[in-house]
Structure 1
Amino acid sequence: PTHVEQAIVHLAINASDAMPSGGFLTIQTEYIHIDDIAAVQMQRGLARGQRISGDVAVLRVSDSGAGMTAEVQARIFEPFFTTKGKGRSTGLGLSTVLGIVQSMGGAMTVHSVPGVGTSFAMYFPLVKPRRETPSDTAPTRPANILVLNEDAMELNVASRLLSKLGHKPVAAESSKDALRIIQDANVQLDCMVCSLYLGGTDARDFVSNVRKIRQAISVIYLSGFPAEHLVRCGRITASDVVVSRPYTLNSLRAALNSTAGKQTGSIAS
């Protein structure tokens, strides 16, 4: 526990350094089950050589700071790598934090968006598995769901999971493609699942335009940040529905349950 505390403190210090003018720091825990599909999603954010699966406890440390470029994220766990200037303390170093997590059989990921913030997640295998039992119940009504994500891998993952839940995904790789589908009166759509950030911009503006065409459509956002943190930072409202990476059958099912409660006719499974 002492080592975990050290890891949390170091990540919190890093977050503080990334927010010189102030901001939001969120520390969150949850239990998830990492199956093959979730593991595929995590590969990009994992330090080289890491593997994690099964029932895990997740500890996330998120900030609303400057964020990092993809190039910096690729090197963030390297020994002695730092983005801090000369003369500034670098604490344990993220490579040491990673070592602490790995010594407990765990793994660590980073998700960052420049100008939005950074979220580190530490995954620890549970001594006693605590898996949520998925419901085998078919959806009350199979829904036609538009899936919008500019990342081909994430688009494929979300579509596969929705299909497993008994729904009919309609894939779009860009806002332009999605808008074309939305404007087609012959295409029935009950819900839209989309990345919270599209082309580096906030997807909520796009959603506002969508609802001028399809007023009744429900929306589920996908993000690498935890929902609680996004609400605190003002990126979303408490009424918005968000599924955090890695996406699982249970997390998507819960999101669909939530949106179904806000509209006429259940689409949840």
Structure 2
Amino acid sequence: MPPRPAPTHFLCIPLAGMQLANTLASFRTDVTSAMSFGLPKDAVRPLGTLHLTLGVMSLNQDGVGKAVEILKGLKLREILAESRVANSNRMSAAALALSGGDTDESQLSHPNGGLSLTIRGLHSMQPAAKATVLYAPPSDPTGLLYDFCKLLQKPFQDSELMIDENRPLLLHATIVNTIYVKNSGGSSGARGKRREKLTIDARDVLARYDDYVWAEDMPITRVALCRMGAKPIEGTDDAAYEVEADVEFEC
């Protein structure tokens, strides 16, 4: 089987807001301090790059046009309403099974409106003692956000622009990624050789930030199709991905 083409674009929910900017800045100041964990500054991702990835795509010019067309056709409130129905049905079935037949439907209803996120905690993609990627997960106790994101994926998968990997979607915001460290020399707690992947012992970092609230009740305002490869924002320390197209929640 020929190798899969390198991804060129990704579908995502961008994350932003003053609360997230402040908590990320505090985190960066702490973990990169020589008096704390001494992590490389380049490893902590810029605010403008934070997002929840819904799927990646390898697109040629025609594919980009098709993906943009699909994205522009998404009705986010209608998709959210469909997600609420699926979520309520699943919760009702679970509550019915636990109660033996009696359930309070009022407890299973959701407010009529948009969708907001709470992002809490810090986890590692790898064993914590040899980590390269640390991420913050959204809180999703009922699975509503997950249902919403899976429905957003579907038209792109149906069109074969996005590969259905037949595995659960791990919703996460990447906070630390050592692949972006330009020079691994002299970083406390880090190890790695030239041409080897830099790893960090993140056990103490994860313990300190296990219940850290990055953002609370952050509204989801849009879904975007972005190009791979974040670019620096001139005149700032920030960076961002180029947005090919996006769609917003209708008022």
Considering the TM-score relative to the shorter chain, is it more than 0.5? no
Give the TM-score normalised by structure 2. 0.24
Q: Which structure is higher in RCO with an 8 Å CA cutoff and minimum separation 6?
A: 2
